[in-house]
Amino acid sequence: MQRFENAREAARTLRPDEPVYCFRPEVLKADARQFMESFPGKTAYAVKTNGEQIVLRALVEAGVTAFDVASPGEFAAVRAVSLDAEMLYMHPVKAQSDIRLALEKYGIRVIAVDHEDEIVKLTRVVRALDIDPGSITVFVRIQTKGHAAYELSKKFGAGPANAVELAERLQRTGYKVGLCFHVGSQIEDPDTYERALASADWVRNRLSFELAGLDVGGGFPAEYGHDPNRKQVEMPSLGQIMSRLSGDLKEYGFDRMPLVAEPGRVVVARCLSLIVRVLLRKGRRLYINDGIWASLSDSWTGKITLPARFIPDPAIRSRNGSEKNIVPFKVCGATCDSVDILSRPFWLPETVDTGDWIEIGHIGAYSLSLRTRFNGFYPDTFVEVTTPFDEGDAPQGFASLETMAD
C-alpha cells in the first residue's frame, strides 16, 4: 500500500479520479486500545462495522482477542487474520447450517438467542455433534428501549418475562447462560445503557441461578461533524459514557460477573477517510464520484454530517470567491439514481470547483462494509496515511456557528 503523510499529499500525487480510502492503522490501534482500557470487561469488535482484512489484522495487532460475528463470511474473515481469536456468534436469528458450521468448524462456543425456536435449532446441532452444552455460553438477547441514530432494538430481543423463560430453559438443558442487549448505533443519550441495565436487572432478579455474564452490545458513538444550520446535539464523549456505564454496572452489581462489549463504530470511525473528486460543480451542487450506494450510505440513513476537508487542485489557476467563505453544498452521488443525494450538505469554501478533491473524514464505520456494485461503481483503492484526520488543517465540515460568523 502506498504511504503518504496526509490525504492532500495523496490526492496531489495520485490525482485520482476514483475514490481513495486513506487508512490510518496507528489511529485504529490507538482507538481500539482506548476502548479496551476504559471498558471493564472483554472487548469483542463487531465485524460487520468494517470487516476488511487490513482492519481486522490491525485490531489483532492492537491486542483485540474477541470478535462479534454474524455469518459464515465473518467467521472466515476473522479466522483468516487470527487462528486463536475468540468468536462470539451474537446474531439472534440464525440458519441451522450456520450454527453447525460455527460450532463444528470454527469452534464457536458463545452464541445469542431471543426465541425458543433458536434454542431448538441450537440444541439439535449440539446433540448431533455430541457437544457438552456446559461448554457453551448462550446469551439471551433482551429488548431495550432507547434513542440512537440507528434504532435496532425494535428488530431483536425478547421481552423481559419471556427472557426469564428462555434463560431458565437454557439452564435446564445444561448451557451456561448470560444476558445481552444491543441498544442501537451512535447513541445520543447517556441514559440509554442504564435503561437496558435496569431491564437486565429485572430479568436477573427472577432467575433461579447465577448468570454466566452480561454483554452490553455496541452503540458507543463516534465523533462526526456538525451542520451549522441545525441545532447542535450535545454528544456525550466516550469517556463520559464509559464512566457512567461503569458506575451503573457497579450499582446494579453486574461488575462481579464477566462482562462483554461489542463496539463497532467507535473503534473504526476515525481510522479511514475518503478522497473523492468533484466531477462537476453546478451552482451550489457538487457531483462526486462516490455516494449512498458506495461509501456514504451510513451518513445518509443516519443523517450524519461528515467532516469534510477541501483539497484544491493546484492545476485550477483561477477561482471565484474567497477560500475563507465556508458555504453548504448539496452533494450528489456517482450513480444515476435520483435518491443518490446526501441527506446533509458538505460545508466547504465557496471556491470549490470541478476537478477539486474533498477528503471526507471519520468514515471507517459502515462504509466499506456497505458498498454495492450498483451502476458499476465500486470504490476499492487504498493508501496508508500517517497523520490523523483531526490533525493538520481544520476540516471545513466541522464548521461551527463561530467560524460561520467570519
Ligand X SMILES: *Cc1c(COP(=O)(O)O)cnc(C)c1O
| Segment near ligand X (CB under 6 A); pick from 11-19, 29-37, 211-219, 271-279 | 211-219
| 265 is an interface residue for ligand X by CB under 6 A | yes
Interface mask (CB under 6 A) for ligand X, residues 326-365, using x and -? ---------------------------------------x
| Segment near ligand X (CB under 6 A); pick from 121-129, 258-266, 383-391, 393-401 | 258-266
Candidate residues 52, 114, 248, 262; the one interacting with ligand X per rule CB under 6 A: 262
Contacts of 252 (CB under 8 A, 6+ apart): 197, 198, 200, 201
Q: Using DSSP bridges, classify how beta strands 272-282 and 20-23 pair: parallel, antiparallel or unpaired.
A: antiparallel
Shortest separation between residue 10's beta carbon and ligand X, angstroms:
27
Candidate residues 41, 146, 264, 379; the one interacting with ligand X per rule CB under 6 A: 264
Cα–Cα distance measured from residue 199 to residue 210, given in angstroms and rounded to the nearest whole number: 16
Site for ligand X in 166-195 (CB under 6 A): 182, 185
Give the CA distances from residue 261 to residues 43, 199, 294, 336, in Å, rounded to whole numbers and listed in that order: 5, 17, 28, 40
Site for ligand X in 4-63 (CB under 6 A): 46, 48-49
Nearer to ligand X, 101 or 365 (CB): 365
Nearer to ligand X, 36 or 365 (CB): 365
| 270 neighbors 388 (Cβ within 8 angstroms) | yes
What does 240-251 look like in DSSP terms, one character per residue? HHHHHHHHHHHH
Site for ligand X in 218-247 (CB under 6 A): 218-220
Candidate residues 178, 263, 302, 345; the one interacting with ligand X per rule CB under 6 A: 263
How many amino acids of this chain bind ligand X (CB under 6 A)? 17
- Number of neighbouring beta carbons within 10 Å of residue 178: 23
Among 398, 99, 138, 387, smallest CA distance to 271 is for 387
- Number of neighbouring beta carbons within 10 Å of residue 24: 22
Candidate residues 90, 103, 122, 360; the one interacting with ligand X per rule CB under 6 A: 90
| 288 neighbors 311 (Cβ within 8 angstroms) | no
Interface mask (CB under 6 A) for ligand X, residues 123-162, using x and -? ----------------------------------------
Tell me the sheet residues that pair with 383.
22
Cα–Cα distance measured from residue 88 to residue 24, given in angstroms and rounded to the nearest whole number: 26
Nearer to ligand X, 217 or 291 (CB): 217
Among 321, 291, 311, 406, smallest CA distance to 356 is for 311
Give the CA distances from residue 28 to residues 19, 44, 271, 279, 349, in Å, rounded to whole numbers and listed in that order: 21, 15, 5, 30, 29
Cα–Cα distance measured from residue 329 to residue 278, given in angstroms and rounded to the nearest whole number: 12
Shortest separation between residue 111's beta carbon and ligand X, angstroms:
12
| Segment near ligand X (CB under 6 A); pick from 59-67, 199-207, 239-247, 259-267 | 259-267
Candidate residues 68, 290, 298, 359; the one interacting with ligand X per rule CB under 6 A: 68
Shortest separation between residue 258's beta carbon and ligand X, angstroms:
17
Can you give the binding site for ligand X, defined by CB under 6 A? Answer: 46, 48-49, 68, 90, 182, 185, 217-220, 262-266, 365
